Structure 1
Amino acid sequence: MLELRDVEKAYENIKDSIKKTPLMECKTLDEMLGCEVYLKLENLQKTGSFKIRGAVNKILNLSEEEKEKGVIASSAGNHAQGVALGARTANIPATIVMPETAPLSKVEATKSYGARVVQYGAFYDYAYQKALEIQKEEGLTFLHPFNDKYVIAGQGTIGLEILEDKKDIDIVFVPVGGGGLLAGVALALKSKNPNVKVYGVEASGAASMKKSLEEGKVITLDKCKTIADGIAVAKVGDVTFEIVKKYVDGIISVSEEEIAQAILFLLEKSKVVAEGAGATSLAGLLSKQIDVNGKKVCCVISGGNIDINNIEKIVNRAQIIQGRRIRFTVNLNDSYGQVNRVTEILKDHRVNILYLNQTRYNIDLDINEQKLSVVIECKDEASGQRVIDALRADGFKVKEK
């Protein structure tokens, strides 16, 4: 079992290779939740993620023989970049196996650090098995993304920094994938202050740690799917499992919708860009599964490497959930001015029209009817409902989607 001194030693090893990321207070969350909320912004870390901490600490602890062989790792993207940058700094050749579904931005970033990238499988665990095959074939040194004591100790340095900036923190929410971040942070926090409560937050579509703890042993999920690709892990580590079991106060799960809303909240209210995994800790806080009233709370925003192509989809989904983006159809009489009348009502209610499409080819329509498909953006769910009510009051047949 790792000890606090392992984390402290890791910090001495890596402090010149990483950024000490800020702990930012969020007044909006304070008012919403009745507590003090701080965001540990690892999205501002080198490579855009906490993963460089563990990767660099591991590389610094390799023997000369292990370095000469070259290194290989499997990763959904963030560990990949950490290993690639750490290996380049140490002048070691690196091979990274990434899932075929890894965001293009993470794949390209990993290549930019000089690593050879092999893409294989639908999610992390398949890439992991492929990496082991290549390791045996080529005699490389394998660097595990989470189930390694040096990696865990490196990630635990985040806990030291949190206490350095806010020694009286009460509760810390940490994203969970394979468990390396949670294990390291919990070990550091609890060793220095046993009164701190530490909660891991998983995506419900990849709740491998929660289910393992419930069954008292490491289990493998049959399927693993979430927009939080950085924590899409079907099987946690046996090392991380034991540390989490000892130090963590609980694991909570959040839905895809909650993660999407957390990403949008960080963008809008805090001007923070977080990937799905990075926003999961905030999703856990916002889910209100843990009583935080009057407490000093920290959410570890573990990474910001979100695929730019997915931001619009995620924001769109979050706004639909919140009732700020509404889709509906309006049946129109085949007569002059019908579309104009609809747009006049929308204008009167000061909503933004995102999409209009008019068709008469629909089996559900009467022969003299047309259908107008509409997407609007509004202030909130109530303002959207007022638009629907106004259209109906004007005689239009409206169907909400």
Structure 2
Amino acid sequence: MSDPATAREAITLATDGDFAELSLSEGPLKNDGPIGWPGYSDTHARASARTGETESVVCGTGRIGGVEAVVISFEFRFLGGSLGERTGARAAAAHALARERRLPVVVLPATGGSRMHEGMRALLQLQFLARESSLTRAAGLPQIAVLRDPTTGGGWATLGAGSDVVLALPGAQVGFAGSRVRPPDADPAAYTAEAQLAHGHIDAIVPPEALRDTLGHWLSLLTRPAEGPVAPPRALGAPGTPPAASGREAVARARRPERPRAAAYLDAHFTDREEISGDRSGGVDPGMRCGFGRLPDGRTVAYAAQCGTATRPAGFRTAARLVRLADRLGIPVLTLVDTPGAANDPAAEHAGAGPAIADLFAAVASARVPLTSLLIGEGGSGGALALAAPGNLWATPDSYFSVIAPEAAASILKRPPEESATTADQLRLRPEDLVELGVARGVVEP
């Protein structure tokens, strides 16, 4: 199955085959458009005759993986898929229909940006589309974009990048700057879906033959939230393990290389899942996995899971993005805490470690959906606490949580390195200590 070349081919590729087009009363374009561009009416008519479409976008409803959705698909052969007043009116009507019928929105952009023939009236459509997308977001309805080739200019900067989940077809040209307005020495590879994925601006690249199933999977996850706070997963360690006798033993257990990590917990807890990627600010942290998973009862829980590495600013921002998205969609959140702490190298500081951690604290503190957290390994200072649900933190037997790593605490207290083990004992960081101190609600068992 090849990449879709037309708006209707894209719709056929994405939907189950029952697309119903949204009908709008539009006559022929008159008077050369809103700014009287010479010959625009004729150009518009020729584009219509050549493509069989009356505008650069086709809108309607269809089922995707059994989930009904509003679909907005761009026709690049119609004046480069450009956004004019009629394009904006159609997309606005589609969003209004989505809100009226409580349907998710799927956008299939292939556009070169705003339409020159309509001047500033065309550029204003970006504000109007951003408002429509915001209203749909405020209504708690998910938006998914699938970037086709090309997706540039205002179409990328509104309906594309403004979606909750952003997918792309392989090799698609993606960037705010179109090919004719870039610096002459610009590297074309920087303006691709693959580059946008590497820098945290899209979530995944999906081959055409997998698009319908992937979209259906995403829609089923985002529209079937679990109810109430979720129970913490069971511990994956060996059953019957006695509590750590000391702080130093608790730290040693948590640092064992063979200890179960986030991937094992996610596999055990969810029947299937999809992941988001990137912080939308230029960064990706593979040590923070975020997404949506299906419980055995078919309902969805969002998750953000640290993987045992020092969490980088991009990881904190991605987790904050996940929490806010889940909150907007009414999906409860599970977090898995496991990090020696926030990354503290110069690159992390330059990338805004402090603001990123602050943003995650704020996202967690302001969430209206229930949050549940499980400490599955190391809980290193504020870099771990930022991901922990206030008042609903649980711990596994092979974990610890500390105001700071014992080695760092010893250094701050001007103790020799060999006293870090004694310091660990004094910090009361064992799971049982956390429960007694009111930090954790309980210790989960295998």
TM-score tier (shorter): under 0.3
Higher relative contact order (CA 8 A, sep 6+): 1
Structure 2-normalised TM-score? 0.26
Structure 1-normalised TM-score? 0.28
Between Structure 1 and Structure 2, the one with more helix by share is: 1
